[in-house]
Structure 1
Amino acid sequence: MTRKKFHHRSSHYQQSRLNNRRTNNITRPQSQSSSIDSSSSLSVAISDETPKEIPGYYYDHEKNRYFKIMPNKAVGSSNPFSADSITKRVEEKARELVIPNQIPNGISLLLDREINFNKPIYTFKSENRQILIKSLRQVGSIVPTAIERTPIKDFQIHPYFNKILYGDSFGNISQMKIKCTSSSCMEIYNDQMAKLTSEISSVRLDRTDLLMATTLGDTVASGNMYILKLPSGPYRDTALDVRYTYRSGSTIWTSSFSEIDSSIALGSSRKLSVIQGWEEYPCVNNFKTNSDVFALDFDRYQPDIVFAGCRDGKLRIYDIRSDCSNSHYGIGPTISQQSPICHIRQIGAWYILSDGMDGSLSLWDVRNERRNFDKTYVYEPVLEFKGNVNSTNIQYGFDVNLKEDIVAIAGQDNKVRFFSINTGRTIRYPIGPFKDKVSALRFCTWDSVGLNPELDERGEGIWMAAGKEFIWWSIGNNDM
């Protein structure tokens, strides 16, 4: 009987309740004595539903209110409710987070928020970069004219000069002065700068004047690390000053410079080596990993944290201030995948992008580790990228653009694929196949043009090392 009474409602009662609900959703404007002008805000009742978007109004989730977007000419661009201020606020919030659509709780809503039917600037610029990737075509290739022509293992593009610094399988470190536009590429000169002990495993640039190179090692000697002082200026100068050397006692697979201080990380066989203060008083800490370290990245927000991707498929996080003798597995959560980790890259403050030798490519949240009742851990990426091909090698090309919204990765089929880090989708059809495997690749941008007139003609595109040659893909005649 009670159930029937609850369901017995007259149509007049239901219509009255519906009208009250509609009128209570948005209250009347505040009086003029309020600290906020009545024409600049509307309050919203707390609801489980997503607030509706009202043209000309900005919804602030923290204050649970609508604020009217005021014209810049009327209140000034510095006013917190001006169009410029609100647009800047939305852009800053979008850049603080990685915005994959599949992340739980709808984090992608931050990018989908619209102001007067216009998409946020972050999304707009990201879409423009994807259009640029779709426009890439092969412009040309360069076979370096150094003394020895051997397979290229790794390279870096100088940020302020048109130079490529690279290492090969014979242990040579060379520089190649280039001219690369959107429609052509050519070598101006090529010089061998150093001859190291064995095959080059990694080449890294710190700031603009320091080059770090590591060697794998061989049956005679273990892997070594060298820090070389580059010649200043764009001129032809092959004189290198060796600033620091380190012998690991084992194979060195990879290396990384800290972007905050002078720390260096080396990934070796079953250990992570961190060198601090190498310029004056070097301090070396060796952390046990129980697995070979194939990939490294310093935390760009916490200078004492190092991410290490290992052969056993685990990502270990180390605090270099801790006691290295007790840091057997690192600190904090570990990420586990089914195959060896080949490359890693920190994206934003909490996300790690990693690829595996089984062709996987995943985005992980380091805060997302969960423990079951049986004390086992569950590792789930927030986003998975489908289509990469790999099953045999850790040294295929991998790079993320400066804005951290596009990843390029080379596969075992000698093709290069591009993915949107925000959505996980492929941006274009794979390019290739090339004659040889793509051992390294690097995005080339205009970001440093304003610092050096020499870069005025630098094209936007991507360099790839395939076998013994460099291949240049740019936007061709579709120059944006």
Structure 2
Amino acid sequence: MNRDIPGFYYDAEKKKYFQIQANHVATPGAQYSKDSVKRKRNDQVKHHKRVQLNQRIAKEKVRKSRFLNHPLISNEREIGSRLLPPVLQQERQARIYVSQFNRKTLHRFEPWPDYSIKQVLRNPRSGILIASDPRYRESHSSPHNSMPFLTTKRVCFPDFEERKWTYNRTMERVLLKEAYRLSSISLSHTGYLLATMDSGPEGDSFLSPRMLPGPDDQGDYQWPSFFSHPIRIRTTPSLWCSAACPIGDKALFAVGTSNGLHTLEGFGSHWTVSQKPFPSDGHSRKHGNQQGFREHGNSSHASVSAVEWLNPDVIASGMRNSSIFLHDLRSGGSAARLQYPHSVTKIRKVDPYRILASGYNSLQMFDIRFAPNGLQHKPKPTSRSHTSTRPYITFPEYSPDIISDFDVSPELGLLASGIYPSPSPIWPYSKVLIRGFISASDDRKIQLFSLQTGELVPSPLSQYQYSQPINCVSFESGEGDVGMGGPHTPTLLISSKATVDQWVW
């Protein structure tokens, strides 16, 4: 240890003693003047105190034992040393997103008599809004009113001048008006819109694919040249539902009919309808039907009431007899995979392996990777002996007293459910059964459920009460053409009577 010598300063870096000079004698900027040495000694004292404080903090700080991070212990999540799994992160982000939901009236369609939207779609590329109105006509006094159904389908173009898609100054156009029951509309990524028409004047049905226009550089919408000649593909079976394939060079639709699953593929005026086989049935083979069809006419054993694409090659089909089978376009084969407690009314995909199925007063999620269980040779959903597949997730607080509409957002991991008109010919107003009792105050609201837990998710959307029954619920992914004014975040479209609302952050 170096000794302090009066009148000298020991420089630790140079390891030498230097004489301390008086301030009036030392040259300007001298390192060993009396004031310079004083500043250096004060800096040394501060540095010494800082080192002692850091040593004290390091000594007294509580540290987690390395033993807890050992791979055999596997409790990193409990001690907080691992980030949350992506599923839980998505759950938190979704709750934050929907907590900031705001309602905006997107468009009010022209107030025709008794006009009520059943289905509403929006083209993510062009912003065209499509709405359908299946009305039940009670008057049969004139020959023109001989059929109870009168379907109207209208389109509305967005205002191209705005930065966001708006529909305030646009003119509506009637795309279709038929004395048929509109069972479904589906929009392909190729721009083709398919309408399935059923229960016509002669009890007939037909498919009507049409190409929607897209905007040019000036923002004008030009209809294709063949629009003046609508396409009608007549079919013998009744038509119940349809869904568009998510990718592909051509438009491809899956169609559920009273005689099984069909596909419609084509473009322009060239379309092909093909029937797909049912799952192999030993009883049918004994009677010489090599394709495995059950020849029951329009019974529930042949009626496909819901379709959904799990991927570009696999179609999930729900039937009135509660069976859900998968059809693979590559092999041409079908296999029964699930059995629902009731007749299947709608199917939605969560991911390539998980699907949501709804029926009367129920909604369940299934994972097709699990081994099939609960399958019956001849299911009868109205029988007490009917069994069903064990679901992956249930929604205990989902219990409407009628069949309701729903849609899912895989991006948010949420399910939105609204009140859908009764399936009877005359659409009555309906109420929803929540938490075990019917409440008029809870009527005409939207419920949000988590796809991870099945629990209700609070949101301003769930607190808003519509003045009219909710007919359609549709999620948009937010992957539209943002440059033209499309939404860039997940959006929920809700139709009530003749009004379409948009809920978004």
- Give 1:388 deviation, angstroms: 2.5
Q: Check 1:318–1:449 CA distance in 2 against 1; reply closer, same or farther (3 A cut).
A: closer
* Counterpart in the other structure of 2:156: 176
What SS does structure 2 have at the residue aligned with 1:195? strand
Q: Partners in 1 of 2:376 and 2:86 — Cα distance?
A: 46
- Give 1:266 deviation, angstroms: 0.8
Q: Partners in 2 of 1:421 and 1:197 — Cα distance?
A: 39
* Counterpart in the other structure of 1:448: 480
Q: Partners in 2 of 1:126 and 1:374 — Cα distance?
A: 36
1:259-278 alignment runs, 5 A limit: 259-261=246-248, 262-277=251-266
* Counterpart in the other structure of 1:198: 180
1:325-340 alignment runs, 5 A limit: 330-333=334-337, 335-340=338-343
* Counterpart in the other structure of 1:381: 391
Does residue 410 in structure 1 map to residue 418 in structure 2? yes
Q: Partners in 1 of 2:341 and 2:375 — Cα distance?
A: 22
2:275 to 279, 285, 298: 285
* Counterpart in the other structure of 1:59: none
What SS does structure 2 have at the residue aligned with 1:188? coil
1:334-383 residue CA offsets vs partner (Å, 9 max, x unmatched): x222222221112222211112212x111101232455899997610111
* Counterpart in the other structure of 1:222: 204
Do the aligned residues in 1 keep the contact of 2:322 with 2:341 (CA within 8 Å)?
yes
- Give 1:265 deviation, angstroms: 1.2
> Partner amino acid for 1:246?
I
2:452 to 422, 430, 454: 422
Does residue 165 in structure 1 map to residue 165 in structure 2? no
What SS does structure 2 have at the residue aligned with 1:422? coil
> Partner amino acid for 1:362?
Q
Q: Partners in 1 of 2:416 and 2:374 — Cα distance?
A: 35
Q: Partners in 1 of 2:376 and 2:478 — Cα distance?
A: 52
* Counterpart in the other structure of 1:103: none
What SS does structure 1 have at the residue aligned with 2:494? strand
Percent of pairs identical after alignment? 16
* Counterpart in the other structure of 2:12: none
What SS does structure 2 have at the residue aligned with 1:211? strand
Does residue 256 in structure 1 map to residue 251 in structure 2? no
1:205-241 residue CA offsets vs partner (Å, 9 max, x unmatched): 1115211111232342423211101112153456673
> Partner amino acid for 1:463?
L
Does residue 311 in structure 1 map to residue 300 in structure 2? no
* Counterpart in the other structure of 1:86: none
* Counterpart in the other structure of 2:353: 350
Do the aligned residues in 1 keep the contact of 2:180 with 2:201 (CA within 8 Å)?
no
Q: Partners in 2 of 1:182 and 1:313 — Cα distance?
A: 47
Q: Partners in 2 of 1:230 and 1:149 — Cα distance?
A: 27
Q: Partners in 1 of 2:153 and 2:409 — Cα distance?
A: 25
Do the aligned residues in 1 keep the contact of 2:310 with 2:349 (CA within 8 Å)?
yes
Do the aligned residues in 2 keep the contact of 1:213 with 1:225 (CA within 8 Å)?
yes
Q: Check 1:298–1:245 CA distance in 2 against 1; reply closer, same or farther (3 A cut).
A: farther
Q: Check 1:162–1:115 CA distance in 2 against 1; reply closer, same or farther (3 A cut).
A: farther
Do the aligned residues in 1 keep the contact of 2:198 with 2:206 (CA within 8 Å)?
yes
Q: Check 1:378–1:459 CA distance in 2 against 1; reply closer, same or farther (3 A cut).
A: closer
1:258-310 residue CA offsets vs partner (Å, 9 max, x unmatched): 1244432111224221234566562511445714322111221xx43211112
* Counterpart in the other structure of 2:143: none
Unaligned 5+ segments in structure 1 are 1-22, 27-41, 54-111, 476-480
Do the aligned residues in 2 keep the contact of 1:306 with 1:319 (CA within 8 Å)?
yes
Q: Partners in 1 of 2:397 and 2:122 — Cα distance?
A: 27
* Counterpart in the other structure of 2:191: 209
* Counterpart in the other structure of 2:369: 367
> Partner amino acid for 1:390?
P
How many pairs align?
363
Do the aligned residues in 2 keep the contact of 1:217 with 1:250 (CA within 8 Å)?
no
Do the aligned residues in 2 keep the contact of 1:226 with 1:244 (CA within 8 Å)?
yes
Do the aligned residues in 1 keep the contact of 2:111 with 2:498 (CA within 8 Å)?
no
Q: Check 1:113–1:356 CA distance in 2 against 1; reply closer, same or farther (3 A cut).
A: farther
Does residue 231 in structure 1 map to residue 233 in structure 2? no
Do the aligned residues in 2 keep the contact of 1:201 with 1:254 (CA within 8 Å)?
yes
2:492 to 449, 462, 474: 462
Q: Partners in 1 of 2:314 and 2:476 — Cα distance?
A: 28
Q: TM-score, normalised by structure 1?
A: 0.65
Do the aligned residues in 1 keep the contact of 2:120 with 2:130 (CA within 8 Å)?
yes
Q: Check 1:142–1:120 CA distance in 2 against 1; reply closer, same or farther (3 A cut).
A: same
Q: Partners in 2 of 1:295 and 1:432 — Cα distance?
A: 30
Q: Partners in 2 of 1:204 and 1:314 — Cα distance?
A: 23
Q: Check 1:368–1:460 CA distance in 2 against 1; reply closer, same or farther (3 A cut).
A: closer
- Give 1:433 deviation, angstroms: 4.1
* Counterpart in the other structure of 2:280: none
1:295-310 alignment runs, 5 A limit: 295-300=306-311, 303-310=312-319
* Counterpart in the other structure of 2:19: none
Q: Partners in 1 of 2:155 and 2:314 — Cα distance?
A: 32
What SS does structure 2 have at the residue aligned with 1:462? strand
Q: Check 1:424–1:297 CA distance in 2 against 1; reply closer, same or farther (3 A cut).
A: same
- Larger Rg computed on CA atoms: 2
* Counterpart in the other structure of 2:75: 52
Q: Check 1:449–1:352 CA distance in 2 against 1; reply closer, same or farther (3 A cut).
A: same
* Counterpart in the other structure of 2:110: 145
Do the aligned residues in 1 keep the contact of 2:198 with 2:205 (CA within 8 Å)?
yes
Q: CA RMSD in A?
A: 3.9
1:91-170 alignment runs, 5 A limit: 118-120=83-85, 123-140=88-105, 142-145=107-110, 150-169=115-134, 170=150
1:154-190 residue CA offsets vs partner (Å, 9 max, x unmatched): 1211212333112211322221235799999753322
- Give 1:418 deviation, angstroms: 0.8
Do the aligned residues in 2 keep the contact of 1:263 with 1:274 (CA within 8 Å)?
yes
- Give 1:427 deviation, angstroms: 0.8
